Structure formats: structure tokens, C-alpha cells
């Protein structure tokens, strides 16, 4: 059984990244045995202090997230909102903190694909490139086909969560190609 875990990589409630994640899930259902969407909203309320870098003192919210999401799965799709020209800081903080308790178990040899989401015109290409470097360092196999979604407000209907046909087609094709990659 091949499962895809889609992570909306921001903790902003009901973000456009989460809407894209849910849309991708509906397109990926025909290519994967199981598809789940997870949001970093689950980490809201997590205690952020120096103790998060000691495995025995890890915040229970973070430990649960690590156990249920990263240690339990092998194939990921990260949907990355563009924050200040890169990816969300909360996502980097989460990566750094979970790597303390079991870096190899969370990352090494696992596959990941990426979608960038931005209000501007680059679709977070820079953020995806920066994250690729970190994920390569962690031993993840990064799918080379990255999807930048620019001008998200013009391709996503915020009321229905529906994407325009061109974006839908690109994400459907991406899901199929990523499944072949793993």
C-alpha cells in the first residue's frame, strides 16, 4: 500500500495552502492507495523554547505530530506558502525540532514533492529551492518536478476551494508523475 501524506506547511488557519492541499488530495486519490492531508495548524499552542531541542523535553504536540506524521509515513507532498521570499518559518522550526529526537527516522530515504503557493508571480520557487537543499542534507529524495502556483488569488476560488482547470490539470499530472517516481 502506497500512502501520500500532504502537509500544508503553515499554521495559519484555513490558509490557501490548506485549500491547495485538499484540492491535490482529490486529484491524487486515483493515483495513490491512500492520501491524507495534515496541517501545521495542529501545532498551534506548541511551546517554543530551548527545551524543544532536547528529545526528552519535546512538547507533546510536536512529539505526537512527529510520531503520527513523519515517523509513520514515507511519501510526502509539502505545500509551501511563500513567506518573505521563502517558506514558512514554523515549518523550518518543526523540521529542526523533530530532527533532534529521530532525524534519520523522520527523513532519511523518504520521498517528497513540493508545491509553492504565492500571491506574487514566482510561485515560491525560491522557497522550494531553499527547502530542497535542506531536505537533501537530511537524506530525503526530492522529486524534481516542483509546481509553482503564482497569483493564487486568481486560480483559487476562496469560497469553494476549487482551482481553475489549468492548475487542476497540472496538479493531477504532478500526482501521477510523483506516484511513478516513488
pLDDT tens-digit map of 79-109: 999 999 999 999 999 999 999 999 999 999 9
Q: HSE (CB half, 13 Å, CA atoms) of 16?
A: 21
Which whole-number Å values give the CA distances from 141 to 65, 98, 100, in the listed order? 21, 18, 20
Q: Cell 485549500 sits at which residue?
A: 19
Instruction: Give the separation between CA 123 and CA 116, rounded to whole angstroms.
Output: 5
C-beta separation of 70 from 98 below 8 A: yes
Q: What pLDDT band is residue 75 in, cutting at 50, 70 and 90?
A: very high
pLDDT of 14: 87
Instruction: Supply 169's cell numbers.
Output: 490539470
Q: What DSSP designation does 84 have?
A: T
Q: What pLDDT band is residue 52 in, cutting at 50, 70 and 90?
A: confident
For position 13, which CATH number holds? Answer: 3.40.50.360
Q: Which domain holds residue 88?
A: 3-181
**Domains of the chain: total:** 1
Amino acid at each position: 500500500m502506497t500512502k501520500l501524506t500532504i502537509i500544508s506547511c503553515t499554521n495559519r488557519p484555513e490558509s490557501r495552502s490548506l485549500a491547495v492541499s485538499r484540492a491535490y488530495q482529490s486529484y491524487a486519490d486515483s493515483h495513490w492507495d491512500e492520501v491524507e492531508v495534515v496541517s501545521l495548524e495542529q501545532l498551534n499552542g506548541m511551546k517554543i523554547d530551548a527545551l524543544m531541542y532536547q528529545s526528552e523535553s519535546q512538547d507533546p504536540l510536536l512529539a505526537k505530530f512527529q510520531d503520527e506524521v513523519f515517523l509513520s509515513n514515507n511519501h510526502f507532498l509539502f505545500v509551501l506558502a511563500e513567506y518573505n521570499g521563502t517558506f514558512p518559518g514554523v515549518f523550518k522550526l518543526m523540521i529542526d525540532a523533530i530532527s533532534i529526537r529521530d532525524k534519520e527516522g523522520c527523513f532519511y530515504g523518504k520521498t517528497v514533492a513540493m508545491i509553492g503557493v504565492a500571491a506574487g508571480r514566482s510561485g515560491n520557487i525560491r522557497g522550494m529551492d531553499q527547502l530542497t537543499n535542506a531536505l537533501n542534507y537530511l537524506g530525503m529524495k526530492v522529486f524534481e518536478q516542483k509546481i509553482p502556483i503564482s497569483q493564487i488569488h486568481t486560480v483559487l476560488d476562496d469560497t469553494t476551494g476549487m482551482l481553475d482547470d489549468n492548475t487542476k490539470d497540472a496538479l493531477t499530472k504532478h500526482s501521477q508523475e510523483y506516484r511513478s517516481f516513488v
